[in-house]
Structure 1
Amino acid sequence: MKYRIQHNTRYHYSLPVSHCYNLAYVLPRATERQRVEDIKITISPKVSGHTQHTDYFGNHFLQFAIEKDHSELDVSITSELLIKENTHNINLDFGTPCAYVKYLLQNSKDWETLSAREFMLDSPMVQQHADLADYAAPSFANDRPFLSAVLELTQRIFSEFVYDPQFSDVATPLADVLKHKRGVCQDFAHLAIGCLRSLGYPARYVSGYLETLPPPGQEKLVGADATHAWFAVYSPGEGWYEFDPTNNTLTGSQHITTAWGRDYSDVTPLKGVIFGGGLSPQLSVSVDVQRIPEDVIQGL
């Protein structure tokens, strides 16, 4: 499948901003199932300069500065990319048992496994805690296939937690999410990561987009899509697998990856430093994920 993604971010300030310096994680990354075809970047007002870099985790990010007075900042990213469809079903009821996964994580000298172990550590927004381990533990019997246990954890978060955009923001503690059983996709990804790390397994945060489809007979609304988040877990010898607890599924061809890291703080879509601007700038974000018809992409 080929997608065109339009991601627009606008800040409106109550007072002029004299300088701003920004990092933007809004450039889709190339993966085994995802190929980036084109990216167009439009920033207003005119920037002093922008450059693209690759971070420690292999993500591409945009760095730019504006060094003149402005009351609004508009960042528009248009991306086109090809996504491989899932061509086979994965049976998670067969695979490495939980106890042996832990053994391999501690004893394997395989480079991929050694690299994955850093995702067992605490990160700024996800710290290990006994309450998280207690919540997840019933799914992770020693002799149970590990990926099957992760799928059950995903299903439990989906069924036991309420999606509530009014409950949380980026600063809401994970303990509050667990206590009140409410949150959004970012919270549910952090919760699953915290549970897995608290049990001694590596897990990372994945940001991106999810194509949404309108009800039958209705047109898709402009800006109806949104940024999305899910998590990936590593099993030695089996690799990384991605799960979406907000939608109770493994990721598929409608999940489009932008970046991954330890948690949200590593891959914030837009962050930086401003001088001026007043209090409480107004933020608006619009995302459109458009599927390009097959007859357009034949021959690619």
Structure 2
Amino acid sequence: MIYDIRHVTRFDYGNAVKFARCNLRLKPIDWAGQRLVDYRLAIDPTGSTTPAHAEAGLAHVTRLVVDQPVRSLTIESIASVAVDRLVPVPAADDPTLGEVARMARDSRDLSAGCPASYLYPSPRIPLDRAIADWCARDLDPARNSLEAGIALARRIQTEFAFDAEATLVDTSPADAFHQRRGVCQDFAQIMITGLRAAGLPAAYASGYIRTIPPPGEQRLVGADATHAWVLLWCGPQRGWVGLDPTNGIWMAEDHIVVAVGRDYAEIAPVDGVVLGSGAQKMEVSVDVSPRAQTWPDAGDCHCPTGSG
């Protein structure tokens, strides 16, 4: 399956911004089961863009500098990604969670995608005893690693309510856990907290998921969203396996990975600094369409969405 992805971010400023410097992590990476086919980035008004080094995580980073006064800024990211990824099937010879933890500790791999990089707490995902205890019910060290991972993802999906009004982008895993409410970022961070507390390598995946409208209803333009889920390292043979606690499913053909990091802060789609005063409003519109479909006209994108 080839997906065409259009991700538009628009900033409107209360007063003219004199200078802006942003890090953009919008270009999807190549990952197991997916390949970037084509990509282009458009900025309005035009700014200077240069490739930048990813200081943490696995991401393509573009540095954007706008050095003229602006009242608005639009960043349009258009990608085509080929995805060929089957749903994982747990097998009798998969390692147990205890074996995974041991292999991760013994690993000598120091690359950006090595399991050791994702064993420990990170700034946005600290250790939390209450979350660790709650997740431990599914994380018996003797249990098959894939079976345990999907069991925990499904329990989060069942026992937590999706509520876009309950949390903010900087809400801690502990606060979302206490509410038992939140969005995909919260559920991913809660699951990662529990996995790392059990000594397991767990990464934060940022990207997209294709949404399919109910029978008889048309797909809304711009109504897709950025998404977040969990990658659990299940030994050198299986590698990283994706688990989506928001939906209680495996990462498969409907998921497109954009970036992988220890937490959201390392791989936020857009971050940076602006020099100016006044309020700022941001709108995001995302479309994820199979190649057989055609893009709508740019003027038709009226449905802002956020992460989650």
- In the superposition, the TM-score normalised over structure 2's length comes to 0.89
Q: Where does residue 267 of structure 2 map in the other structure?
A: 267
Name 1:177's counterpart in structure 2: 176
Counterpart of 1:267, as a letter, is: I
Cα pair distance change 1:247/1:202, threshold 3 Å: same
Residue number in structure 2 paired with 1:201 = 200
1:31-66, Cα deviation, whole Å (9 max, x unpaired): 22111111121101111x101234243411211100
Cα shift at 1:92: 5.2
Give the TM-score normalised by the residue count of structure 1: 0.92
Structure 1: gaps (5+ residues): 295-300
Q: Which residue in the other structure is 1:297 paired with?
A: none
Contact 1:5/1:287 (<8 A) preserved: yes
- The root-mean-square deviation of aligned C-alpha atoms, in Å, is 1.9
Write the deviation string for residues 175-226 of structure 1: whole angstroms up to 9, x where unpaired: 1111110010000010110111111111000000011111222221110100
The more displaced of 234-243 and 59-68 is 234-243
Cα distance change on mapping 1:217 and 1:231 into 2, 3 Å: same
Identity %: 32
* Distance change in 2, residues 1:102/1:41 (3 Å): closer
| Structure 2 alignment gaps of length 5 or more | 294-308
Say whether the 8 Å CA contact 2:57–2:266 is kept in structure 1: no
Please give the alpha-carbon distance, in whole angstroms, between the structure 2 residues aligned to 1:119 and 1:125. Answer: 13
For 1:64-83, list aligned pairs within 5 A: 64-83=64-83
Aligned residues: 291
| Partner Cα separation in structure 1 for residue 261 and residue 112 of structure 2 | 16
The structure 1 segments of at least 4 consecutive aligned residues displaced by more than 4 Å after TM superposition are 108-114
How far is 1:112 from its partner?
7.6
Note closer, same or farther for the CA distance 1:113–1:18 as it changes in structure 2 (3 Å cut). closer
Partner of 2:286: 287
For residue 242 of structure 2, what is the aligned residue in structure 1? 242
Instruction: Tell me: CA distance 1:111–1:122, structure 2 relative to 1, closer, same or farther (3 Å).
Output: closer
Q: How many angstroms apart in 1 are the aligned matches of 2:268 and 2:105?
A: 31
The change in CA–CA distance for 1:33 and 1:74 in structure 2 (over 3 A counts) is: same
1:93·1:148 contact (CA, 8 Å) conserved in 2? no
Instruction: Name the counterpart of 1:166.
Output: 165
Preserved CA contact (<8 Å) 1:105 1:113: no
Does 146-155 or 259-268 show the bigger shift?
146-155
- Give the secondary structure class of the aligned counterpart of 2:17: strand
CA distance in 2, matches of 1:254, 1:271: 26
Return the offset for 1:85. 4.0
Contact 2:58 2:113 in 1 (8 A): no
> 3-state DSSP class of the match of 1:139?
coil
SS of 2:137 mapped into structure 1: helix
- Which one is further off, 107-116 or 54-63? 107-116
What displacement does 1:277 show?
A: 3.7
